[in-house]
Amino acid sequence: MKERIARLKAIRRLIKACRIESQEALLGHLQGEGFALTQATLSRDLKVLKVGKISGGSKGYIYSLPNDEEQREFERAYAADFLRGYISIDWAGNLVVIRTYSGHSDSVALAVDNLGLDDVLGTIAGRDNTVFAVLREGFSGEEFLAKLKQSIPELED
């Protein structure tokens, strides 16, 4: 996990400091700094960081990070989606089960994926009313719930 956090910080720094026009260029910068990652991992990192492309003038498009207000707005929207859709949260080992109202499993899973909970390896949205979140080894359901409440203070037990 420490490597992921360091990699995300490096991505932010590189996007702020350099004119990055493609994932290939960013991947080259990161590999030059000693990070071992694939294009698929980089793509997921860019999604987590909410990186977008903006016009770089006549030379095409460059990567850009959302400003603080845009980031807060993303987080508010994901929190609202989660709160609107979830019914209950329970866990066993490193597997969290989130029950949702019918038709809300996709939006709840997307919210969990995008709230920046580093100890969540990923989610699987059931067809209709269940989300499974897989936690990193050594990370408990109690810790997941505590971090989720930090991101969504309105969350009730």
**Are residues 35 and 3 in contact, defined by beta-carbon separation less than 8 angstroms?**
yes
**Co-location of 60 and 7 in the same domain:** yes
Q: Residue 87 belongs to what domain range?
A: 69-151
Q: Averaged over 99-127, what is the pLDDT?
A: 90
Number of domains in the chain: 2
CATH number at residue 47: 1.10.10.10
Q: How far apart are CA 77 and CA 56, in angstroms?
A: 28
Q: Which of these three, 40, 64, 88, is where a domain ends?
A: 64
Query: Tens digits of per-residue pLDDT, 64-90?
Result: 988 878 778 888 899 999 999 999 999
In this structure, the answer to whether residues 140 and 104 fall within a common structural domain is yes
For tokens 């109690």, what's the residue?
142
Question: pLDDT tens digit string along 37-70?
Answer: 998 889 888 888 888 888 877 778 888 988 878 7
Residue 157 confidence class, pLDDT cut points 50, 70, 90? low
Q: Is the pLDDT of residue 104 over 60?
A: yes
Q: Is the pLDDT of residue 2 over 70?
A: no
Q: Is the per-residue pLDDT at 32 higher than 70?
A: yes
